[in-house]
Amino acid sequence: FGTVSFFSLYKQFPIARGGLLVFPKDWEIELPKTKFNFRDFISLLNSFSPFAFLFKKFGREIAPKMIRKEKSKEPLGINDVSLNLFSQFLEDFEKGLAKRIELAKFFQKELKSLGFEVQEGEGNVFCYLSALIPKEFSEKRDLFVIQMRKYNVFCTRIWKDPIILNENVQKDYKINLREFPNTVETAKRIVNFPLQNYFEEKDIKKIIFATKEVLTKIKS
């Protein structure tokens, strides 16, 4: 997307600490070579859930010291092992993204049939499947999210507390909420549905079934 790209992926992939810069081949930049070392191997293991859990639980005192010690103030060239792993990740990512978008559009269609409002912007990669709960349930949005957990559907309410709703902020900056009707409305109604890369259409249908059940329960 543009001339250069920067990926901050050091926690998921074994690359030089800090991130990965991708630039055109015709740029004449010589970077010091790096080798795949033990710390890179640990980073690779960290991309698998069981190891990530163990590192988080037992390695809190060690990991920060190792990271500080290995940080480089100068850019470094990526080693061949890391480059191959990252290239494979990008290939798999593109395939997964196409499937994710297809599922998200099906998800949106089903939600719209229940009265939810969705954003259908072109190029949306759907980090979340966000939707606005039907207006008649705007005062019961939090109850909806809680009730969905009984069906093992864990929604969130990211962006439910924008800073302009803070009374102290309103007072300090003389904010008139009537000037921000869309923000206030969205904060009351937004729901972020789960959308994982491993989902299939059957998983979406289960979520829609749960959504119908919960809406029926909280309507009365």
Q: Could you read off the pLDDT of 64-113 as tens digits, one per residue?
A: 555 555 556 677 777 788 778 777 777 777 778 888 889 999 999 999 99
> What are the chain's domains?
5-78 (no CATH), 96-219 (3.90.1150.10)
* 203 pLDDT higher than 90: yes
Report the percentage of the chain scoring pLDDT > 70.
79
The strand pair at 20-22 and 117-118 is best described as unpaired
Lowest model confidence (mean pLDDT) among 120-129, 134-143, 155-164: 120-129
pTM across the whole model: 0.62
The mean pLDDT value for 49-69 works out to 65
pLDDT for the residue 1: 41
